Structure 1
Amino acid sequence: MISTLELRHIIECGFLPLSCSCTMNVDGSLMIKVTEPSSGQVELLVTGVSSRPLTSSRAIANLIGELRGEMIASKTSFHSNESRIQSG
C-alpha cells in the first residue's frame, strides 16, 4: 500500500516541469491541478479521482499518462477551434 503522502508526491512529480498540486479529499478521492509555472494558467483540473485503484507504481503511471493525454487533446482541440474561428 502506498501512503497518501507518497502517492501525492509521485503524481506531482509526474507532471514536471509543469506545477502540479494533488490534494486528498475527505472521501478519499483526489483533486489534481496542473498549472504552467510561468503564467499560472491552469492546464488541467480534475476532481473526484478515485485513489483506490492507485496501489502500484504502474497504476499511478497509467493515471498520469491518461491525464497528460487529456491535456494534449484539450490543447489540440482548443488550437484547432481557434484556427477555425480566425479563418472563418
Structure 2
Amino acid sequence: MISIVEFRRIMASGFLPLACDCTVNHDGSLRISVFEPESGRVDLLLTGVSTEGLDSVRSVSNLIGELRTEIKAGRRGFAAVG
C-alpha cells in the first residue's frame, strides 16, 4: 500500500466537496468514512477495507470511482471491501 498520509490526501481530494476520513484498524485494514462536513451526515461508511492492491495513485483513484458509484446508488455502508 502507498503511505497512509498519501492515501488520505488522495481520498480527501477525490471526494470534494464531501469530507473523507480514513483510519487504519488494528488488523491493518482501513475504515473509510465519507461525510458532509457541515452537517456531519455520513454518506458512506466502510470498515475492514483491504489494503491489498492499493499501491498506486491509479488504484486509489479507481477505489474512489467505485465508492462514488456506491454513494450515487444510495448504499451507505459495507462490512468489508476488497
Instruction: Mark yes or no: TM-score above 0.5.
Output: yes
Return 5+ residue gaps in structure 1 as ranges. Answer: 76-88
Identity fraction in percent? 59
User: Matches of 2:13 and 2:64 in 1, distance apart?
Assistant: 10
Instruction: Map 1:1-88 to 2 at 5 A.
Output: 2-74=2-74
Structure 2 partner of 1:86: none
TM-score normalised over the length of structure 2: 0.82
User: Matches of 1:5 and 1:38 in 2, distance apart?
Assistant: 23
Q: Deviations over 1:39-69 (max 9, x none)?
A: 2111110111111210011110110000000
Q: Which has the higher helix share?
A: 1
When Rg is computed on C-alpha atoms for both structures, the one with the higher figure is 1
TM-score normalised over the length of structure 1: 0.77
Higher relative contact order (CA 8 A, sep 6+): 2
Return 5+ residue gaps in structure 2 as ranges. Answer: 76-82
Count of residues paired in the alignment: 75
CA RMSD, aligned part only? 1.5
Instruction: Write the letter of the residue equivalent to 1:48.
Output: G
